[in-house]
């Protein structure tokens, strides 16, 4: 059976969706099948039975990310999806994204989710991600999903 990579993510202005589309093309050339859910487009929650990775861009309400500006806006639907039916138990890690202009707040929401749900913070990329991010993260997810599946077996 072909190797599968399952991705749960949210994309509001399209950057993360573009990243997932390019990652899917990259995997297609390797014979890896991608199943992805953009919570923005498919808000109806379902129980996720196979291991998956989460990708979350940061949307925070200003501040410096240290003393203030911690409040997540626009993306809480993803947190509800992870909590639904214990889905987060099958999440082997989260990838953060954002804009480095936000300095300390760069990709902060994904770091908050890693603490909240207890899964690893794997890495991050900026905006749509570079071609190097696609290959780097593509390889990382193959390794991490394999390790998680072996742990569960
Ligand atoms: C209202 C708003 C708040 C944002 N806050 C942050 C932030 O705190 N940290 C960060 O790294 N990026 C922040 N961003 C940038 C987004 O995370 C970035 O543009 C991301 O690529 C959006 O992903 P999407 O196009 O898939 O929705 C913010 C963007 C908006 C519009």
Domain residue extents for the chain: 4-152
Question: How high is the pLDDT of residue 72?
Answer: 84
pLDDT tens track for 19-32? 999 999 999 999 99
**Confidence check: pLDDT of 68 > 80:** no
**Confidence check: pLDDT of 129 > 70:** yes
* Candidate of 57, 108, 111 to mutate for ligand 1, largest count of ligand atoms within 8 Å of Cβ: 57
Within 10 A of 149 (CB to CB), how many other CB atoms are there?
13
> Across all residues in the chain, what is the average pLDDT?
94
CATH code of the domain made up of 4-152: 3.40.50.360
Q: Which atom of ligand 1 is nearest to the CA of 19?
A: 26
Question: How high is the pLDDT of residue 63?
Answer: 67
How far apart are the CA of 38 and the centre of ligand 1, in A?
16
């Amino acid at each position: 059976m072909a190797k599968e990579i399952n991705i749960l993510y949210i994309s509001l202005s399209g950057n993360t969706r573009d990243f997932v589309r390019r990652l899917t093309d990259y995997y297609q050339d390797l014979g890896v099948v991608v199943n992805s859910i953009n919570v923005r487009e498919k808000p109806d929650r379902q129980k996720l039975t196979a291991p998956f990775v989460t990708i979350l861009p940061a949307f925070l309400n200003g501040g410096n990310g240290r003393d203030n500006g911690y409040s997540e806006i626009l993306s809480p639907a993803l947190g509800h999806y992870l909590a639904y039916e214990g889905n987060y138990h099958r999440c082997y890690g989260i990838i953060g994204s954002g804009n480095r202009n936000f300095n300390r707040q760069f990709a902060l929401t994904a770091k908050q989710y890693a603490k909240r749900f207890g899964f690893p913070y794997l890495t991050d990329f900026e905006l749509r991600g570079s071609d190097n991010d696609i290959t780097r993260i593509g390889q990382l997810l193959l390794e991490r999903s394999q390790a998680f599946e072996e742990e569960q077996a």
